[in-house]
A and B are shown apart, each in its own frame.
Chain A
Amino acid sequence: AQTVTQSQPEMSVQEAETVTLSCTYDTSESDYYLFWYKQPPSRQMILVIRQEAYKQQNATENRFSVNFQKAAKSFSLKISDSQLGDAAMYFCAYRPFPNAGGTSYGKLTFGQGTILTVHP
């Protein structure tokens, strides 16, 4: 079974600075997807960024970028120019590529989450 591990229960950063959140995962699959979701106090799950495993280029979305190391099974999130609104719980998630039998269809597996605090 796939597992996702976020080893940092809490992180903090000063406003305007950069912070990196770590994520590692375990899988025997070669094709899969990785995601970072943000969950503010409202509990809404907001997609931050996604990465397809077959793409070598790291995904970027404005101030958010990832460092995807497939061989190391590592998927970290870098937040640049941190803003107060970035404060939230961040979840790393793994989704296998659907197999022909459909047994892995669409199942997102989440890490335990990292609480990010942004100091003004």
Chain B
Amino acid sequence: NAGVTQTPKFQVLKTGQSMTLQCAQDMNHNSMYWYRQDPGMGLRLIYYSASEGTTDKGEVPNGYNVSRLNKREFSLRLESAAPSQTSVYFCAGANRPGNTIYFGEGSWLTVV
């Protein structure tokens, strides 16, 4: 049981480049989330998907787009990367509104 899987785990981008972070879960989660964690800080919500076919902005959505491809997959896209987007990105999922949110192992992104 893989849980929540993110790829890639490490990526270095040049300013202005684009990339997509992939997330897949095999835990039958209805809702999925993308968070970012900057040094010395807690996680901040970028986007979330309450259910397949829906997406909504979180606390820090600027510079990002998301796609809920199907129930299993939720991708995060950086169209034109900026150094301020250097961070660790976490994908997460949950089955029902009251259920615990489970996290992937994180993706380290550096923009130079």
Using CB atoms and an 8 Å cutoff, list the residues of chain A in contact with chain B: 4, 33, 35, 42-45, 47, 50, 52, 91, 93, 95, 97-98, 102, 105-113
Task: Tell whether A91 pairs with B42 under 8 Å between CB atoms, given A97-B97, A105-B31.
Answer: yes
Stretch at the interface among B18-26, B62-70, B74-82, B101-109: B101-109
Complex contacts, B31 vs chain A, CB 8 Å: 105-106
Q: How far apart are the CA atoms of A42 and B58 in the complex, in Å?
A: 25
Number of interface residues of B (CB under 8 A): 26
A interface, over-half SS: loop
Q: Told that A45-B103, A47-B100, A91-B42 touch, could you supply 19 new A-B pairs with CB distance under 8 A?
A: A33-B98, A35-B100, A47-B102, A93-B42, A95-B101, A97-B97, A97-B98, A102-B50, A105-B31, A105-B97, A106-B50, A107-B48, A107-B58, A108-B35, A108-B43, A109-B45, A110-B42, A112-B42, A113-B41
Q: How far apart are the CA atoms of A93 and B42 in the complex, in Å?
A: 9
- The answer to whether B105 and A44 touch across the interface, beta carbons within 8 angstroms, is yes
Q: Most chain-A Cβ atoms within 10 A of its Cβ — which of B42, B56, B88, B106?
A: B42
Residue of A91, A98, A111 touching B97 (CB-CB under 8 A): A98
